[in-house]
């Protein structure tokens, strides 16, 4: 049974994170947005120390803790704690949140599909003296949501017992910081057997400094501009045999592919939390400005007696609270190791949808003021859309939900 009372450790954490969001993020939010590709190192170094003090990486809670710490009888709240933290950090600045070291999809993939040795080897580096970053390299110029169209290949050289990667990846979040500006890594999706389709898909850890791995382009983006997004080329890139996540043997089933995709069951609710944070920031500022101009929201009145603005604001609040409840459910299931692909996708679909609606409506209500750079509303409007796009678009996640509800396989419902 889900307990909707926020655990005391999370309440205490929220107080600390809010201080960071107010004093270290909001104060430079506009500057980071207008100076794209400027790295917020003061914030990064502070958060590196903070994440270390919490004893774990941010996208993979508890993954790098010793086994005896995981065996405690207390119920896990790692993902719920992470969700609350991300919601608050996104409330501060969504792009800067994505600059936190050790907090991207790469570490989540290692935590979900890696062996104990791989988890120790790759995740422990986030606890070092310097910030380390990670990323996921999945999307290709011709392969976005359709992962079966991935053309990057990994061929085993039996003489050297190394994998040789070739291919191009685009839209790699934090790829510049992971591969160029730190001793980080990216998890690369490639096929070890093109004829096997998805059954031949595997993910590989490619570490910074690996010959044949090169960042070729940094994107200029609509939103989350404090975070780098890059293209990476792999040309005869040799990595150790043991850097493969999962079995090197191709089976007739897509078990390996499904194991890799399980990464998203844990991370999609985190993206939903990011969306909720942006939406909450927007709604709070909107209500504050309305109140300053004498517009109070009269709760409890019949709908026909409310003004148009009052109805809009109340509908926005309903959407925001609904999205947060869906997110909390998916996070709670992840903490309790319950199968949650439907709930994870539902949370991300709805949160990614409502944050765009809420930010757009706020800009509309305030008119020229909302559209101007005088407020952060227009920035939040631009930041919002990414939550509907990355880690599975809204369309793809709607398919995931439908398949789980109707009992269809991917080949039966596309």
| Other Cβ atoms closer than 10 A to 317 | 17
Alpha-carbon Rg of the chain, whole angstroms? Answer: 21
Tell which phi-psi region holds residue 219, choosing left (phi > 0), alpha (psi between -120 and 50) or beta. Answer: beta
Do residues 133 and 287 touch, judged by C-beta distance below 8 A? Answer: no
> Looking up tokens 């493969």, which residue turns up?
244
Beta strands in 71-173 (DSSP E): 134-137, 153-157, 162-173
N-term to C-term CA, the chain: 34
Residue 391 designated active-site: yes
DSSP letter (8 states) at residue 140: B
Tokens of 196: 């096997």
Q: Exposure of 69 by Cβ count < 10 A (0-12 exposed, 13-18 middle, 19+ buried)? A: exposed
Beta strands in 96-144 (DSSP E): 134-137
Q: Which residues are within 8 A (CB) of 109 and not within 5 positions of it... i.e. 6 or more apart?
A: 136, 187, 203, 245, 260, 263
Beta strands 185-191 and 134-137 are parallel
Alpha-carbon distance 261 to 48, whole Å? 28
Alpha-carbon distance 97 to 226, whole Å? 9
Do residues 295 and 376 touch, judged by C-beta distance below 8 A? Answer: no
CA 189 to each of CA 27, 115, 133, 234: distance values in angstroms, whole numbers, following the listed order: 38, 17, 18, 12
Given 87, 207, 329, 391, which residue is catalytic?
391
Alpha-carbon distance 278 to 283, whole Å? 9
Q: Which residues are catalytic?
A: 391
């Amino acid at each position: 049974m889900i307990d909707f009372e926020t655990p005391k450790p999370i309440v205490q954490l929220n107080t600390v994170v809010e201080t960071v969001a107010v004093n270290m993020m909001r104060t430079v939010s506009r500057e980071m947005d207008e100076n794209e590709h400027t790295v917020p190192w003061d914030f990064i170094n502070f958060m590196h120390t903070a994440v270390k003090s919490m004893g774990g990486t941010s996208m993979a809670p508890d993954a790098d803790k010793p086994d005896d710490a995981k065996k405690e009888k207390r119920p896990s709240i790692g993902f719920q704690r992470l969700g609350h933290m991300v919601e608050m950090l996104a409330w501060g600045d969504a792009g800067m949140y994505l600059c936190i070291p050790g907090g991207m999809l790469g570490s989540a993939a290692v935590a979900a599909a890696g062996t104990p040795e791989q988890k120790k080897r790759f995740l422990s580096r986030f606890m070092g003296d310097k910030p380390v970053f990670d990323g996921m390299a999945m999307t290709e110029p011709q392969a976005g949501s359709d992962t079966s169209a991935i053309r990057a290949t990994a061929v085993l050289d039996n003489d050297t017992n190394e994998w040789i990667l070739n291919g191009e990846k685009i839209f790699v979040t934090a790829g510049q910081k992971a591969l160029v500006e730190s001793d980080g890594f990216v998890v690369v999706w490639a096929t070890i057997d093109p004829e096997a389709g998805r059954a031949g898909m595997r993910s590989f850890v490619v570490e910074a400094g690996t010959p044949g791995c090169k960042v070729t382009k940094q994107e200029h983006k609509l939103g989350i501009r404090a975070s780098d997004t890059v293209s990476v080329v792999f040309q005869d890139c040799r990595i150790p045999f043991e850097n493969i996540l999962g079995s090197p043997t191709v089976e007739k089933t897509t078990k390996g592919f499904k194991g890799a995709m399980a990464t998203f069951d844990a991370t999609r609710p985190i993206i939903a939390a990011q969306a909720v944070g942006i939406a909450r920031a927007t709604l709070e500022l909107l209500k504050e400005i309305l109140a300053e101009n004498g517009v109070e929201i009269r709760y409890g009145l019949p709908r026909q007696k409310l003004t148009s603005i009052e109805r809009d604001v109340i509908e926005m609040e309903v959407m925001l609270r609904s999205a947060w409840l869906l997110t909390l459910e998916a996070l709670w299931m992840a903490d309790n190791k319950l199968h949650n692909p439907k709930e994870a996708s539902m949370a991300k679909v709805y949160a990614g949808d409502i944050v765009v609606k809420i930010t757009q409506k706020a800009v509309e209500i305030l008119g020229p003021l909302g559209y101007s750079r005088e407020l952060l509303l227009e920035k939040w409007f631009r930041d919002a859309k990414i939550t509907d796009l990355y880690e599975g678009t809204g369309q793809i996640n709607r398919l995931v939900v439908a398949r789980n509800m109707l009992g269809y396989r991917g080949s039966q419902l596309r």
